[in-house]
Chains A and B, each alone.
Chain A
Amino acid sequence: MSLVTISAGAADSLPEQIDRLVAAKAGSQPLAPAAADAEFLRRATLDFAGDLPTPAEVRTFLADAAADKRIKLIDKLIDSPRFPERLADVLHVMLMERRGEDAKWRAYLVDSCKANKPWDVMAREILCTDYLDANQRGASYFATRRLDKEGQQLTDYPGLTRDVGRMFLGVDLQCCQCHNHLTVKGYKQADFNGLFVAFQNAKLEKAAGDHATSWLSEGALTAKYDFVSVLTSVKGQTGPRVPFGEEVPIPDLKGDDMWLVKPDRKKNEPGKPKFSPLQEVTQRMATKDNPWFVRNIANRMWWLVMGRGLVEPLDLNHAANPPSHPELLDLLGNELVAHNFDLKWLIHELALTQTYQRSSELPSGATRPPDDLFAIGRERPLSAEQLARAFLRATGEWERVSDNKKADAQDDTKRYALSDFEAAFRTAFASAPKEPELTVNPTLKSALFLRNSEQVLWAIRPRGENLVGRLTALTDNAQAAEELYLAILARLPAADEKADIAAWLEKHAADRPRAIGDCAWALLSSAEFFSNH
């Protein structure tokens, strides 16, 4: 191989440019080879459709000799109707951090992803929603859910402010509520409070009348916000302000002049001010002109596809914590802006890189390269949503469960509806509410769920043509092993794996359905099934 050179190479495609930058940083560190076909098929299907490939799809893909079959697969997956659903799942978990489920919010995300709405437009709709627009009002859940009272706690304006910074700018300004950040030089108290002023001026209103969702009304802001550092007692003052940006001047309005719609208590009208701090802040924040906003979404999309951010943690973007590949992050940001914040386009480009397609297997004897080189495919746990679907696909229960409109405990074939499985997997595998779900670790709860829950056992009992039913009828054990691996792990078993399964089936031949069920369970509970690798 010749030395890697970085030329301007404007003619190169974006994936080529990305791979070149990754290779340059890796230097002498060898890069892992491309993932095997089966590994690649499973990875891409989980990433872009949130689903497992079927045994037939695995066989077809393995048998396909076309040189461009991977590109075709990526095109197909990203153009499929599952893609917007999957992206909506990702955005939901990322933005809401398991605070709950909401049908209108879900519909907003799915519709927006289906329409491939530019990210800056989505961000503006989420942060400053037109609540009377039926196509938009679901977006209000991001803010209204966070301002819901919980117990006797005060309305959590600081929490909402913090999350706006984290999710949309990649900066966690929590510490700056009370003082300039101790360890991050660039995070100032005014950065938090400028955003805080705008949100604290809003009030949570219940759904009523023209409002089909709860929503935020705004007060008339007339003065700057005063704050004091708890560490230095230094006083400060700010009006609405995007972090690291210019302060928005508060117009000098008085009396009736402050209002577009005057507040009227008798009519339950909270009023509408002429000067909307939320709108001012949102328009300045969620735009191509704000480098923090651009870098954040580029970094988060890289994280989604590659399993690790260029900036880590995703919400600690600052001068002393630079990206692993600064040039690459700039490139992604610029390209994303040039393509009008088209997330689908960016994900497609990233999927075409060699960096995405690398094997996650470490060659024998090799030492593991540092994570931030992206020299090897990165394992990541599946989300609860991916798992529930993959589990039902693998066990051959997807159709039955997703077609079942109403669970009926008396009828074994109608015992569970899809929502039961989704809820159970969410309970067992999702992070605790308000925790970033980035590197979910297996928990005791999830292990107990797999070992003992009735739902898991139900799915591995023979029932018609489900996986265990189908394989119980097969007499050839080698073939049964192959079917098990194809259905659950989306690959063919190695010779010793086949032998293990055959030995188990022979030993427990007296109760073949159980023997098959045990093998299915062992594979469904494996680290391989639970990770995207």
Chain B
Amino acid sequence: MGGLGGLLSRAAAEEMRKSDKQVLFLWLDGGISQLESWDPKPNTTFGGPFRSIPTSVPGIHFSELMPKLAKQMNRMCVVRSLCTKDNAHSSGVERIQRGDPKTRGVPYPYFGSAVAKLLGPGESKLPPYVWIKPGNGGFRPEDGGFLGPKFGSLAFGDGKPPENLLRNPALTAEEDDERNELRARLNERYAAHRAPEYTEANSYVFDTARELMKRADIFDTSKLPEREVQRYGSHDLGRHLLIARNMLEAGVRFVKVTSYGWDTHGDNFNAHASMMPKLDQSFSAILEDLAASGQLDRTLVIAMSEFGRTPRVNGHAGRDHWPEAWSLAMAGCGIRKGVVVGDTNEQGTWVKSDGYDIGSLFHTWYSALGIDSVATEYDNHGQPLPIAHEDMKPIKEALA
């Protein structure tokens, strides 16, 4: 039935752009072990050394490595029946983040680019798709896929703003504003007799630059309050999620935070013992903050990887790639609270119920954001393209 939806109409598009929904997308790159986190199997063949602990929802248990997140379970929905298809990082990361529609010969946008396109920047006028990550930052056009480079991400490498985002110290804010007004005035005369598209686009980027620079407080990460840094954790993930919270508060539509190092082919248990407390601390802190301010009600929160890890422990005490049965966590707008969806068998090797592929999750996320994932289609130069895999459906049990 997928083909019946009309093209993305202008009216529907404008309506969607009035949405106040936002997204926090936490990407645990390399593949967090479901067994050491959302789907523990203590005292089984492959369960590993860690115990499980009760959560704030009776009957649901997490790994003991996440005591703080266990207290947030009443706000979350955990899906334990992911069954995806790709077990290579290079293609898996793309496959998951692009939502794996059927091959169309054109690269699909990453989820962040898709939301930027569908919902737009919103009232904040800030760039709609910001990516906070360790390493290099900058403008990342390739995420945009066929939507084009302008829907790519604005990446904050090591949490720092991209080059030239902060006002040059040689100028005061007043001087900078004043000379920009002079620019606008001198520009008007030229614009008066020319095609509006070009001069308007020119003004638009200068205005957006100004909005961004005005909000230097949220982008200037050298000034994070020490007390909050301590609460989120004085490590990359803690700082980056704290910046993410500030950006969401400022109105950025889609914030992606990446944490690297989850590819634990060797020494899986010590690695998780060292990394999980950081995730536990920072992710629970941002959930608490978003809930306390009421913002969680309009923010879709997702924490996931490109796949899970093998139940079988390899010769290096590691776990390898396992797309067959793994988990993710969600919270916030449109998401049912305090539920686990799906189940794995006793040893955690396979999904017991129906497995969900990434296409189902894209439908679920769009539904949570109030976007009709069947009726809405992209118009790629006349070629109608579905925004999510047309053979799949949202996970109803995960939706509020």
Query: Which A residues are closer than 8 A to B by beta carbons?
Result: 151-153, 174-175, 177-178, 182-183, 230, 360-362, 364, 368, 379, 381, 431-432, 435, 441-449, 451-454, 457, 494, 496-497, 500, 504, 514, 518-519, 521-523, 525-528, 530-531, 533
Chain A hits for B193, CB < 8 A = 361-362, 364
Whether A182 contacts B179 in the complex (CB less than 8 A), given A361-B194, A447-B208, A530-B202, comes out as no
Q: Which residue of A lies closest to B199 (CB)?
A: A527
A531 to B, closest residue via Cβ: B198
20 contacts between A and B (CB under 8 A): A183-B383, A379-B194, A432-B141, A432-B149, A435-B148, A443-B139, A445-B164, A447-B205, A448-B163, A453-B168, A497-B186, A518-B182, A523-B183, A526-B186, A527-B190, A527-B191, A527-B198, A527-B203, A528-B187, A530-B202
Contacts of B199 in A (CB 8 A): 527
Q: In the complex, which residue of chain A has the Cβ closest to the Cβ of B102?
A: A230
For A447, the chain B residues whose CB sits under 8 A away are 205-206, 208-209
- Whether the pair A175, B105 counts as a contact (CB closer than 8 A) is yes
Residue B40 at the A interface, CB < 8 A? no
**Residue count of chain B within 8 Å CB distance of chain A:** 53
Interface-central residue, B103, B165, B179, B208, by most chain A CB under 10 Å: B179
What CA separation (Å) do A388 and B190 show in the bound complex? 22
CB-nearest residue of chain B relative to A445?
B139
Given A175-B105, A381-B198, the answer on whether A449 and B183 have CB atoms closer than 8 Å is no
Cα of A108 to Cα of B245 in the assembled complex, Å: 52
Contact of B190 among A443, A446, A525, A526 (CB under 8 A): A526
- A446 near B205: Cβ-Cβ < 8 Å: yes
B149:A528 contact, CB within 8 angstroms: no
B170 close to A (CB within 8 Å): yes
B68 at the interface (CB under 8 A from A): no
Give min CB distance, A326 to chain B, whole Å. 22
- Asked whether, in the complex, the Cβ of B194 is within 8 Å of the Cβ of A522, the reply is no
Interface of B toward A, CB cutoff 8 Å: 88, 90-91, 103, 105, 127, 139, 141-142, 148-150, 152, 154, 162-168, 170-171, 175-176, 178-180, 182-183, 185-187, 189-191, 193-195, 198-199, 201-206, 208-209, 212-213, 382-383
Are the CB atoms of A452 and B194 closer together than 8 Å? no
Question: Which 9 residue pairs of A and B lie closest in terms of their CB atoms, listed nearest first?
Answer: A432-B141, A522-B183, A447-B209, A447-B205, A152-B90, A432-B149, A448-B164, A528-B190, A452-B164
Query: How far, in whole Å, are A454 and B191 apart by their CA atoms in the complex?
Result: 28
Are A443 and B105 touching (Cβ within 8 A)?
Answer: no
Contact between A533 and B105, CB atoms less than 8 A apart: no
Query: Nearest CB to that of B191 among chain A residues?
Result: A527
- Closest chain-B Cβ to A374's Cβ sits at a distance in Å of 14
B170 adjacent to A432 (CB under 8 Å): no
Report B-chain residues with C-beta under 8 Å of the C-beta of A518: 175, 178-179, 182
Q: Is the CB of A523 within 8 A of B186?
A: yes
Closest to B149 in A: A432
Q: Known contacts A442-B205, A444-B127: does B168 contact A521 (CB below 8 Å)?
A: no
Q: Report chain B residues within 8 Å CB of A497.
A: 186, 189
Cβ contact within 8 Å between A442 and B187 = no
Question: With A457-B168, A497-B189 as given contacts, are A444 and B209 in contact (CB-CB < 8 Å)?
Answer: yes
Question: What 13 new A-B contacts, CB under 8 Å, besides A448-B165, A449-B164, A530-B202?
Answer: A152-B90, A174-B105, A230-B103, A361-B194, A362-B194, A442-B205, A444-B205, A448-B164, A451-B164, A500-B185, A500-B186, A522-B186, A526-B190
